[in-house]
Amino acid sequence: MHDAENTGLISHWSALYGATFVYRGFIGGPRLMTTDPVAIAHILANAYEYPKPDFVRDSLASMAAGHEGLLTVEGEQHRRQRRILAPAFGKVQIGCLEPVFWDKATKLRDIWLEQANTQEDMDAKCPRIDVLSWLARATLDVIGEAGFGYDFDALSSHASAHPQNETHNELAAAFGVIFSTARKFRVMTILQVWFPVLRRFRRNSATMVQAHATMERIGLDLIEQKCAQILAEESFSSDTCKQSSSGAGTSRGRDLLRLLIRSNLASATPPSKPTTNPPSGKHHPGMSTREVLCQISTFIAAGHETTASALTWCLYALARAPHAQSKLRAVLRSLEHGGTPEGEDNRQNAAVGGMGGRDSLGTWGDREAREKDLGDKLKGCEYLDWVVREALRLHAPVSSTMRVCARPGGDEIPLSVPIPFPAKCASASSHAVGVDGEQGERWSVRVAEGDIISIPIQAVNRCKSLWGDDAGEFRPERWADPPPAAHTIPGLMSGTLTFLNSNGSVSAGNRACIGWRFALVEIKIFLYTLVMDMEFRLDEDMIIEKRIK
Ligand code: HEM
Ligand 1 contact via 304 beta carbon (within 6 Å): no
Ligand 1 contact via 173 beta carbon (within 6 Å): no
Higher-confidence residue of 188 and 380: namely 380
Q: Which of 513, 517, 518 to mutate to test the pocket of ligand 1 (most atoms within 8 A of CB)?
A: 513
Q: Which of 79, 306, 311 to mutate to test the pocket of ligand 1 (most atoms within 8 A of CB)?
A: 306
Is the previous residue joined to 30 through a cis bond, with omega within 30 degrees of 0?
A: no
Using the mean position of ligand 1's atoms as its centre, give its distance from the Cα of residue 341 in Å: 38
Ligand 1 contact via 33 beta carbon (within 6 Å): no
Ligand 1 contact via 401 beta carbon (within 6 Å): yes
Using the mean position of ligand 1's atoms as its centre, give its distance from the Cα of residue 255 in Å: 17
What local confidence, expressed as pLDDT, does residue 185 receive?
53
User: Residue 41 above 80 pLDDT?
Assistant: yes
CB 502 within 8 A of CB 516: no
The pLDDT tens digits of the residues spanning 230-274 come to 888 777 654 443 444 443 333 456 799 999 998 888 876 554 444
CA nearest ligand 1 atom 27, residue: 303
Higher-confidence residue of 350 and 541: namely 541
E strands present in 373-439: 401-404, 411-421
DSSP category for residue 46: T
Which 3 state secondary structure label does DSSP give 424?
coil
CA nearest ligand 1 atom 41, residue: 511
User: Residue 515 above 50 pLDDT?
Assistant: yes
Using the mean position of ligand 1's atoms as its centre, give its distance from the Cα of residue 421 in Å: 38
Instruction: Kindly list the domain boundaries of the chain, sorted by start residue.
Output: 88-302
CB 84 within 8 A of CB 260: yes
Ligand 1 contact via 46 beta carbon (within 6 Å): no
**3-state SS, one letter per residue, for 280-296:** CCCCCCCCCHHHHHHHH
CA nearest ligand 1 atom 7, residue: 499
Ligand 1 contact via 250 beta carbon (within 6 Å): no
Pair type for strands 401-404 and 452-455: antiparallel
Ligand 1 contact via 313 beta carbon (within 6 Å): no
CA nearest ligand 1 atom 20, residue: 513
CA nearest ligand 1 atom 11, residue: 513
Ligand 1 contact via 511 beta carbon (within 6 Å): yes
What local confidence, expressed as pLDDT, does residue 6 receive?
58
Which 3 state secondary structure label does DSSP give 499?
coil
Least confident of 214-223, 245-254, 376-385: 245-254
Ligand 1 contact via 302 beta carbon (within 6 Å): yes
Question: Is 425 assigned a ligand-binding role in the annotation?
Answer: no
How many Å apart are CA 388 and CA 59, to the nearest integer? 29
How many Å apart are CA 348 and CA 300, to the nearest integer? 40
The closest alpha carbon to 154, from 257, 305, 256, 302, belongs to 305
Ligand 1 contact via 47 beta carbon (within 6 Å): no
**Mean pLDDT for the stretch of residues 438-456:** 88
Using the mean position of ligand 1's atoms as its centre, give its distance from the Cα of residue 302 in Å: 5
Using the mean position of ligand 1's atoms as its centre, give its distance from the Cα of residue 419 in Å: 32
Ligand 1 contact via 298 beta carbon (within 6 Å): yes
The pLDDT tens digits of the residues spanning 184-213 come to 655 666 666 666 666 655 556 677 788 888
Phi, psi of 318 (to 5 degrees): -70, -35
CA nearest ligand 1 atom 2, residue: 307
CB 127 within 8 A of CB 115: yes
What local confidence, expressed as pLDDT, does residue 362 receive?
46
User: Residue 348 above 70 pLDDT?
Assistant: no
How many Å apart are CA 99 and CA 312, to the nearest integer? 21
Using the mean position of ligand 1's atoms as its centre, give its distance from the Cα of residue 453 in Å: 19
Using the mean position of ligand 1's atoms as its centre, give its distance from the Cα of residue 307 in Å: 10
- The band of 143, judged by pLDDT with boundaries at 50, 70 and 90, is very high
Higher-confidence residue of 5 and 507: namely 507
Using the mean position of ligand 1's atoms as its centre, give its distance from the Cα of residue 438 in Å: 41
Residue count of the chain, please give it. Answer: 549
The closest alpha carbon to 211, from 177, 182, 172, belongs to 177
For the chain, give the percent of residues with pLDDT over 90: 44
How many Å apart are CA 183 and CA 549, to the nearest integer? 8
How many Å apart are CA 171 and CA 92, to the nearest integer? 29
CA nearest ligand 1 atom 21, residue: 513
User: Residue 394 above 60 pLDDT?
Assistant: yes
Higher-confidence residue of 332 and 501: namely 332
* Nearest atom within ligand 1 for CA of residue 401: 16
β-bridge partners, 34: 20
Using the mean position of ligand 1's atoms as its centre, give its distance from the Cα of residue 215 in Å: 21
- The band of 64, judged by pLDDT with boundaries at 50, 70 and 90, is low
How many Å apart are CA 267 and CA 81, to the nearest integer? 11
Ligand 1 contact via 71 beta carbon (within 6 Å): yes
How many Å apart are CA 37 and CA 259, to the nearest integer? 35
User: Residue 216 above 60 pLDDT?
Assistant: yes
* Nearest atom within ligand 1 for CA of residue 310: 1
Whole-angstrom CA distances from 525 to 30, 308, 377 are 44, 13, 11
> ipTM score here?
0.99
The model's pTM is 0.87
Ligand 1 contact via 142 beta carbon (within 6 Å): no
